Amino acid sequence: MEIRRAHAGDVEGLAAQMKAVVDEGRWLRTESDRTEEELAEMWRSRLEKGHIIYVLERGDRIVGEINIDPTEAQGVHALGMCILAEFRGQGWGRRMVEAALDEAQAREIRKVELEVFPDNGRAIALYVSLGFEVEGIRRDHYARLDGSVRSAVLMARLLSNEG
């Protein structure tokens, strides 16, 4: 297994692994009405814009990714991550977050934020252990295709005071 910077040749693999996690219908805000082609275009655009994107690769298969994208607030970027089910709970998420945060720090990004569904206790515990703090709750915020509404926990980590 290897964690490395993503490149243009990864967009189809990124889209395929993300689509698999999206189709679980549980962990990501993105929903299953997005095609792999649409997801590949999203990844292509992010790579062209120079966003921080790392992949978790096993052999020639992408099995996870992490991205840190700019937000509308200057110096604040948003973290997103997903890993295929069979590779979760093995410490790869921690390693990916550490790699992405190292690059964010090098780029002098001031703050990294994220949203996580409240029932994703494993992810929340990981983020807390990596220095993220809960900043709030978006109650009943995301309307889902199935008619349900999901809340999200807002978490963030300040990077500006780190050396």
- For the CA atoms of 116, 93, 133, 20, the dihedral, rounded to the nearest 10 degrees, stands at -10
Residue 67 and residue 80: Cα distance in Å, rounded? 5
Mean pLDDT by groups of 10 residues along the chain of 163 residues: 94 92 74 82 94 95 95 94 91 95 94 94 94 95 85 93 50
| The predicted structure's pLDDT at residue 22 | 83
| The predicted structure's pLDDT at residue 54 | 96
| The predicted structure's pLDDT at residue 163 | 46
Domain ranges of the chain: 2-158
- For the CA atoms of 5, 29, 117, 128, the dihedral, rounded to the nearest 10 degrees, stands at 20
Task: Output the pTM of the full model.
Answer: 0.88
| The predicted structure's pLDDT at residue 29 | 66
2-158 CATH choice from 3.40.50.150, 3.40.50.880, 3.30.360.10, 3.40.630.30: 3.40.630.30
